[in-house]
Amino acid sequence: IVSVELCINNYSIVYRNGVVKYNGQKDTCDKDTVFEDDNGIVLTGKMRVSESVTSDTTGFYGSTIQRKEVEWIVTTNTNVVPSDAVESFDVSQEKNGSVMAWFLDADGNGKYELYIGQTGNVIVTTGSYLFSYFTNVTSVDLTYLDTSSVTDMSYMFNNCRGLINLDLSHNV
């Protein structure tokens, strides 16, 4: 799937092969509408455009945890925040909870693991500054990050000095 567009007056689902599954009219924008692909996978929103970042003391999307306190980042195919999350927040473009981010400290070392997830793939439209200034991150797993519509990845990993492993093998 390339895109799911929900607009004031119309919506469409466009697959990677160019086939439009539905292109129709709606009277209002219904953010609670659930779409499924041919395999029954629920399609949801896109991740908000990231802010320009100039310091590792900045929180990710306004979180209280600073970027320098994060040791690794992983995208996941669920937006269900675990009960032991230290902090969680909505990063969806629609601000409807379809794309969620949360921090865990699973190993108890005082450094955090950042999870970004939604049902299916996390869809981004720009990667500019997205992961910049995560200075102590050593590993990034972007298995569920859909970058097929991204037009700008400038500074995406700017100042990620500790980055050792970047898994892009499963990216769309």
pTM summary value: 0.71
Residue 146 has pLDDT above 90, yes or no: no
pLDDT score of 57: 94
Q: Is the pLDDT of residue 158 over 80?
A: yes
Is 119 within 8 Å of 145 (Cβ atoms)? no
121-145: per-residue pLDDT in tens? 888 888 888 999 999 999 999 888 8
For the segment 69-104, what is each residue's pLDDT rounded down to a tens digit? 999 999 999 999 999 999 999 988 888 888 999 999
The DSSP code sequence of 70-134 is EEEEEEES--PPPTT-SEEEE-BTTSSSSSEEEEE-TT-SS-EEEEEE-SSPEE-S--TTTTTT-
* Residues 25-39: b if buried by 16+ CB within 10 A, e if exposed: eeeeeeeeeeeeeee
Among 127, 130, 171, 118, which residue's Cα sits nearest to residue 150? 127
**Residue 49 pLDDT class (50, 70, 90 cuts):** low
